[in-house]
A and B are shown apart, each in its own frame.
Chain A
Amino acid sequence: GQQVMQIPQYQHVQEGEDFTTYCNSSTTLSNIQWYKQRPGGHPVFLIQLVKSGEVKKQKRLTFQFGEAKKNSSLHITATQTTDVGTYFCAGPGGYGGSQGNLIFGKGTKLSVKP
């Protein structure tokens, strides 16, 4: 079945260092979404990428969608302690246009040392 793989599983960085997580899908995606889950919290929607090669920025976060729409990355510049959490990518796995059936990557858990 459809799979979404995410690496690395864990990333420990010093505050101020950059961080990147990568996501690869076994199938072409109509879109890809990114979520952040703080420790003890629930996933919070960050962004959706739809177009091939799309790049979007949110302050220090840069999201990219691959040309083949099978991979994506999230890059954080100059990490801060507030960036701590687990970052998930997810792609639609439903039928008939339904987006509610999301296939999530296992996530990258980011820890930031002050």
Chain B
Amino acid sequence: KAGVTQTPRYLIKTRGQQVTLSCSPISGHRSVSWYQQTPGQGLQFLFEYFSETQRNKGNFPGRFSGRQFSNSRSEMNVSTLELGDSALYLCASSSRWFDMKSAFFGQGTRLTVV
């Protein structure tokens, strides 16, 4: 079956703009988590969604938001982009809440803010 699909794969934005990233989980998976990966901070948890509800949120400013739709697809939005938001954004999906034994990461969206 198809894996976790993240779009777009690459994105270049200007400071102050906003961006929306998309994650389509594996068919049948209802749990989606988002992570930010940077060379300095490593992998940091952003949000977790299950059944359209945000279950957990990481320590990120309010400029970072997300949502999950009824088909389990998830989006995250970053407003008023800053240079430090440049990162690889990864989502992971799982069939349950939230069992990492069955979690799969997408390829990620590499965001560059200039």
Closest residue of A by beta carbon distance from B97? A98
**Complex contacts, B33 vs chain A, CB 8 Å:** 100-102
Quick check: is B103 within 8 A (CB to CB) of the other chain?
A: yes
Main secondary structure of the interface of B (DSSP, over half): strand
0/1 interface trace, chain B 10-31, chain A, CB 8 Å (1 if under): 0000000000000000000001
Give the shortest distance, in Å, between B6 (CB) and chain A (any CB): 9
B: contact size bracket: 20 to 34
Any chain B CB within 8 A of the CB of A99? yes
Bound state CA distance, A90 and B100, in angstroms? 10
Question: Chain A residue with minimal CB distance to B55?
Answer: A98
Q: Is the interface of A mostly helix, strand, loop or mixed?
A: loop
B interface residues with partner A (beta carbon < 8 Å): 31, 33, 35, 42-45, 48, 50, 55-56, 58-59, 90, 92, 94, 97-101, 103-108
Given A41-B107, A98-B97, A100-B33, list of 14 further CB < 8 A pairs? A1-B59, A42-B108, A45-B101, A88-B42, A88-B43, A93-B45, A94-B48, A97-B97, A98-B55, A99-B97, A101-B45, A101-B56, A102-B43, A103-B45
